[in-house]
Structure 1
């Protein structure tokens, strides 16, 4: 595999590790889908985590302006899915440190982890595992900017952008693979994509 694997190689790795699955899935909101994607299932394997992290870091390094910032670059991610990616990319880049944001429950806004204080003037790379709605990264971007720091780029393993997802322009956005938006539907009003397979309930 090349240092920066092709999209097909990335998707094959995700399928091999069970991070990307096809079938009949019902999500916690009651909607069904024929696809399941959970990047941490790939990152549980050290070698795969290293492969994906190094590949994403190489894409960031290819930008001369970002490459010049790396010694003092901080990585910021949402917990929990973005954290393995953030630490992997930080190590591969040899960036300065990792911050993360979390929420106590779904009704609470994201906030930086207690005692993690972004400093004014810091240069920040936003990192996550999947880019879908962009809501979390947009929220974190506002937290970073409110602290007086500057977001200089966005990097994710998979871009699966839903309609209305921000493009974060003029920031550079990097990914290793791009998928069509996740197709969610009402199982009672829609034929299952794989009628010969059981329905798997997704609880996370």
Structure 2
């Protein structure tokens, strides 16, 4: 089993945990940023983190693992590999999350939805709706990082390898802005 400190060490060693002044996808500012793509560059770190997620859902009789593109693709693959089940990914088409490329879940299948990092959980919720819309059952959500500090609730079993409460501020009241520190946007998405 990988504990919180060991997981945090992997994020630090890989350069995935950044400290400074950042603009989040939401537009809010924060003094910490987690770029999971950095930890996922290392197969041994990815395997250890995803094996931990898989272990926490081993008894839930998962049939398929689904993750949202982009962040959830590698996580879904590796968690599914550890569970010995199929993996799929959902992606946006015309702004709406969907299963494409001939991917489908079957009615009654038990699905584990996984993601790299969650703050509000919007993408995970969208994937859950796609899965349940095809008649499958979401039995859990597995995360590398829960940035909400445990506040996000999907209504199913949720397990995060690393749980952090990362403060964020409206730019108008950001203490880092008030100190004159320039903010950078390191993320992979731009909010439309």
Question: TM range, normalised to the smaller chain?
Answer: 0.7 to 0.9
Could you tell me which residue of structure 1 aligns to residue 12 of structure 2?
15
Q: Secondary structure at the match of 2:47?
A: helix
| Partner in structure 1 of residue 116 of structure 2 | 129
1:203 Cα deviation from its structure 2 partner: 4.9
Q: Is the 8 A contact 1:33 1:185 kept in 2?
A: no
Question: Which residue of the partner structure matches residue 177 of structure 1?
Answer: 162
Number of equivalent positions:
188
Identify the match of residue 40 of structure 1 among 37, 44, 54. Answer: 37
SS in 2 for 1:192: helix
Measured in 1, the distance between the counterparts of 2:77 and 2:175 equals 41
Matched, 1:103 2:92: yes
Deviation, structure 1 residue 143: 1.1
Q: Distance in 2 between matches of 1:140 and 1:30?
A: 23
Which runs of 5 or more structure 2 residues have no equivalent in the other structure? none
Structure 1 position 138, deviation (Å): 1.5
What does the per-residue CA deviation read over 1:156-176, in whole Å, with 9 as the maximum and x for residues that have no partner? 1111227973x223x211111
Larger radius of gyration: 1
Q: 1:150-200, CA deviations, whole angstroms, 9 ceiling, x for partnerless residues?
A: 1111111111227973x223x2111111100441331x643328x697643
1:114 maps to: 101
Q: Whole-Å Cα distance in 2 between the matches of residues 157 and 21 of structure 1?
A: 16
Q: Report the equivalent of 2:55.
A: 58
- 2:145 alignment partner, SS class: strand
C-alpha distance in structure 1 between counterparts of 2:27 and 2:148, whole Å: 21
Residue 19 (structure 1) shift? 0.9
User: Who is 1:82 aligned against?
Assistant: 72
> Which of the numbers 46, 50, 54 marks the counterpart of 1:49?
46
- Map Cα deviations across residues 29-55 of structure 1 (whole Å, 9 max, x no partner): 654321111212101101111111111
* Root mean square deviation, CA, Å: 2.5
Partner SS for 1:77 = strand
Q: 1:190 matched to which residue of 2?
A: 174
1:24 and 2:21 matched: yes
1:151 pairs with 2:135: no
Q: 1:28–1:74: structure 2 CA closer, same or farther, 3 Å change rule?
A: closer
Q: Aligned equivalents of 1:45 and 1:164: distance in 2?
A: 29
